[in-house]
Structures are given as structure tokens and as C-alpha cells.
Amino acid sequence: MKYVVVYEQTPNNWAAYVPDLPGCVAVGDSREETERLIREAVALHIESLVAHGDPVPAPGAWTGIVDVPSTAASAGGRQEGLALLATDRAQVPTARRPHRNHADAAALQPGSLAQAGARDRRP
């Protein structure tokens, strides 16, 4: 099985999580280390689910690329932003709020590593 992994660079490290495996996360000093750790985390997570008789979620998350015109990407000051995170199994509500950087623009599930990282970068 292949699962989507989200990698995020923070000011101090790299973090990764698997949307289809809640609680499956890894943090490392580099992206390479984090990639290795998340592979181990996925294997251990699935092994634990099986050992406890819990169902192993099927991969279902998907990713996409949003093409932003260069004028919008380089505009300064506060802007209104809209972001959407979705999987083919569930719809996630969007968030509309002022933001100052790309991390603030994401509509994130509560408790995600990305949301914590975005809070750390706010002035």
C-alpha cells in the first residue's frame, strides 16, 4: 500500500504526518531523516493496528498542486486567503481568514503538526 505523506519544514526541523493514519507522525532534523522516520512510523503504526485487531485504513488521501499567479504570490501586506484540504473519503471545512504567509493560509485539521508550526511562526 502507498500512503500520502505530508512533509513540512519548520524553522527548527522537518515534520511529517500521514492523513490516512491519524497519529502517525515523525519529526527530524532534515527531510532525509524525517523521510526515513515516517517510513518506520507507518510500518510500526500498521503493525500495531494489526496486533490489536484494529482495521488498517485504506489509503484515500490525495494531493494536488495549486498554480498561483506570480503577482498574487509576490504581493505584500495582508491578504485574504482561502485554502482547502480534502480527501476522497471526507470533506474538510475550509477556512477564510487574514494571513501573512503561506503557513497561515492553510485550512488544517485541529491538532495537526502543520497547524502547530504555523502558530510558532506568527509574530
Residue by residue, pLDDT tens for the chain (123 residues) are 899 999 999 999 999 999 999 999 999 999 999 999 999 999 999 999 999 999 999 999 999 989 988 776 566 554 444 444 444 444 333 333 333 333 433 334 444 454 444 444 444
Domain locations along the chain: 6-121
- Predicted confidence at residue 70, as pLDDT, reads 79
Provide DSSP, 45-81. HHHHHHHTTPPPPPP-B--------HHHHH--S-EEE
User: What does CATH list as the number for 6-121?
Assistant: 3.30.160.250
- Predicted confidence at residue 19, as pLDDT, reads 96
Cβ atoms of 33 and 27 closer than 8 Å = no
Distance separating alpha carbons of residues 61 and 88, to the nearest angstrom: 6
